[in-house]
Amino acid sequence: MNGSPIAVLLFLWVFESNAQSLKFAFVSDTHIGNHTAAEDLRRTVTDINSQADIQFVVISGDITEFGSDEELKLAKQILDSLNMPWHIIAGNHDSNWSESGSNSFLRVFGGETFSFTAGGYFFAATSSGPNMRMGPGQVPRENIVWLDSVLNNMPSPSMPVIYINHYPQDSSQNNWYEAIDRVKKRNVQLLLCGHGHANRKFNVEGIPSVMGRSNLRAKDSIGGYNIVTIQNGTASFDERKPLIQTNRKWTEVALANHHFEKDTTTYFRPSFAVNKKFLGVKTLWEYQDQSDIGAGTAMSKIFVFATNTKGSINALHRKTGLKAWQYQTGGKIYSTPYYAEGYVLAGSSDNFIYCLSAKDGSLKWKFPALRPVLGSALVKGNQVFIGSSDGHFRSLDLKSGKLIWDFDQVKGFVVTKPMIYEGLIYFGCWANDFYALDIKTGQLAWKWNNGASNRMFSPAACYPVAANGRVFIVAPDRYMTAFNAKTGHVIWRTQMKNVRVRESMGLSEDKSLVYVKTMDGELYGISTTTPQMDLTWKGDLKLPYELTPSAIIESRGVIYVPSHSGLASAVDRKTGEVLWQYKTSNCLMNPIMPLDKNKVIVSTMDGKVACLEYSTK
């Protein structure tokens, strides 16, 4: 801080004086899209407006149920009725199932983070995913970079900090420690969160933490929120029943400078000890992006291609990992790039499908969709196939980008990589439907619906596979389904309580097995020929509770299994033995890409791409 000693002392005196009295509304988990949510939020807004002493409102995520544009617009419309400043961040419901690839939250609300000063306190808040992937929570990489910046540019380094995130700051969020380690370098005095839908007080590494209730009424007749009063070094929390004007003081928190610079306590952090267990694995190179990487990779003879949530398509040298070129789109990208015949293809949430020169990243063509393009491309011959969020699944000419055909009857939005088998192309969507189209005409061959009333059970995130005249899918309803590839007739559809499949699957090289990773971290092989779900094969792999939907790949007799905590596992196809494991991050891993013999490319949601080399001797 610049200025004379007198000015500094004056600032600190004002700072200490202003840090004594503050009153604000703390709202969380509004879940617009729920059948009572809009009414519950309108009631809360009216109630807040009736209280002249409330200075501002913070809203800590899960604003919507499904992250849809319609839900986000309705939430904004209701919140705009507030007659005071309000500050908002996204939660996992706003980002995991978003038809816009989380782009609409940014557009509708004008940002994904917020920081401001009030009453002598510095408030900083980051959004949380996982963005467009099932898994534990994660503060997006670009939000971590932003947090560094705002904490380094506070009015005073000693100013008390209140940090807000949707998730509790513990291991339910993959990179909780990245945020905590940063705020503990400052005078952090309080953490606020939602997610648990209940009022709760706890402690995180010596920092008082308070979870706020959901604004939904749930089984009650009316919803509610919290009013926070900071006065004389204490933050008191009153649960407020809107419009009936009842307050229930349920907790108090003493606010103080904990001087974490003097704290010698050792707190839990993720272990990377597995990297010392398998000594035959090493990192040849690693690239760190400044934003999330929420999709897999592709390769040419020279480059590895990766996309990111800042909207860029990047080419990295295969031998060094150094960036060769970058092409910037206008929206977040969750589309896995596809390389074919000197071209790189990817969709963007800016509503375009892009085709670039793989050599230098120059634009060859781009095709406009009506809404974001979150699906991944697939190429066969001269045809590009890709789905989007506008109800369309398209085939385009690879070299010109001209439309070959357009199937415009997709009920939900597409986020998956499609699969071609015996003249048909297959894909799921977030409306509980699964489609099979003729690749030459785009005509519907068959469509299947799982009958679920909740669209979160859709077969949308898995990469379908096919063999022996059958197509296989797994879904969040924990069912695995086998179809007749030509007719869509269900051959079998099974849910096993002790084999909890979800979204992660792949096909063996000999096409005799469909690999599935269960929520309990086990790896099975399901026969592609039997009349029922037959557990023909089982690997020795045993991961902890596991959620990542990333596909499983077999190459040269080695099965590559990604995890939601940055761990890559290689399993021997013949024996089921775990050949090696390597942890590059603690965040969700995208599909692993075999590169050369004994080399693979791994990428993780926190912006890391790494080339691993291994020996099994």
Who's near 309: CB < 8 A, 6+ residues apart?
Answer: 102, 131, 140, 141, 142, 291, 292, 293, 294, 332, 333, 334
The mean pLDDT value for 591-603 works out to 96
CB 588 within 8 A of CB 566: yes
* Residue 13 pLDDT exceeds 50: no
Q: Quote the pTM value.
A: 0.93
The CA–CA distances, whole Å, from 137 to 68, 97, 344, 547, 583 equal: 19, 13, 31, 11, 18
Q: Please report the pLDDT score of residue 246 as a whole number.
A: 83
Beta bridge partners of 226: 26, 239
Q: Report the distance separating Cα 30 and Cα 65, nearest Å.
A: 8
CB 504 within 8 A of CB 517: yes
CB 139 within 8 A of CB 412: no
Q: Please report the pLDDT score of residue 617 as a whole number.
A: 66
57 residue type, one letter: V
Closest CA to 371 of 98, 65, 129, 75: 98
Distance separating the N- and C-terminal Cα atoms of the chain: 58
The mean pLDDT value for 343-370 works out to 98
The CA–CA distances, whole Å, from 498 to 137, 285, 310, 443, 518 equal: 25, 39, 40, 39, 9
pLDDT tens-digit map of 125-180 = 999 887 888 999 999 999 999 999 999 999 999 999 999 999 999 988 999 999 99
Q: Please report the pLDDT score of residue 559 as a whole number.
A: 98
Give the neighbor-by-neighbor strand order of the sheet with 200-204.
114-118, 121-125, 160-164, 187-193, 207-211, 200-204
- CB-facing half-sphere around the CA of 381: CA atoms within 13 A: 9
Neighbour-count burial for 125-148, b at 16+ CB within 10 Å, e otherwise: bbbbbbbbbbbbbbbbbbbbebbe
The CA–CA distances, whole Å, from 226 to 1, 211, 445, 448, 525 equal: 35, 10, 53, 45, 50
Q: Report the distance separating Cα 473 and Cα 464, nearest Å.
A: 5
The mean pLDDT value for 63-67 works out to 95
Q: Report the distance separating Cα 408 and Cα 423, nearest Å.
A: 19
The mean pLDDT value for 309-338 works out to 97
Strands 363-368 and 378-380: unpaired
pLDDT tens-digit map of 110-133 = 999 999 999 999 999 999 887 888
The CA–CA distances, whole Å, from 266 to 127, 184, 261 equal: 27, 14, 13
Whole-number CA gyration radius for the chain: 25
Give one DSSP letter per residue of 176-218, joined into a string: HHHHHHHHTTTEEEEEEE-SSSS-EEEEETTEEEEEPPPSS-T
Q: Please report the pLDDT score of residue 8 as a whole number.
A: 41
Who's near 481: CB < 8 A, 6+ residues apart?
Answer: 450, 459, 472, 473, 474, 475, 490, 492, 493, 494
Neighbour-count burial for 280-301, b at 16+ CB within 10 Å, e otherwise: ebeeebebebebbbbbbbbbbe
pLDDT tens-digit map of 533-590 = 999 999 999 999 999 999 999 999 999 999 999 999 999 999 999 999 999 999 999 9
Cα 439–Cα 442–Cα 445 angle in degrees, nearest 5: 85
* Residue 249 pLDDT exceeds 80: yes
Q: Please report the pLDDT score of residue 1 as a whole number.
A: 38
Strands 578-583 and 593-594: unpaired
pLDDT tens-digit map of 440-478 = 999 999 999 999 999 999 999 999 999 999 999 999 999
Mean model confidence pLDDT for the chain:
95
pLDDT tens-digit map of 396-451 = 999 999 999 999 999 999 999 999 999 999 999 999 999 999 999 999 999 999 99
Q: Report the distance separating Cα 261 and Cα 264, nearest Å.
A: 8
Q: Report the distance separating Cα 263 and Cα 281, nearest Å.
A: 36
The CA–CA distances, whole Å, from 139 to 47, 95, 308 equal: 31, 11, 15
Beta bridge partners of 248: 239
pLDDT tens-digit map of 209-232 = 999 999 999 999 999 999 999 999
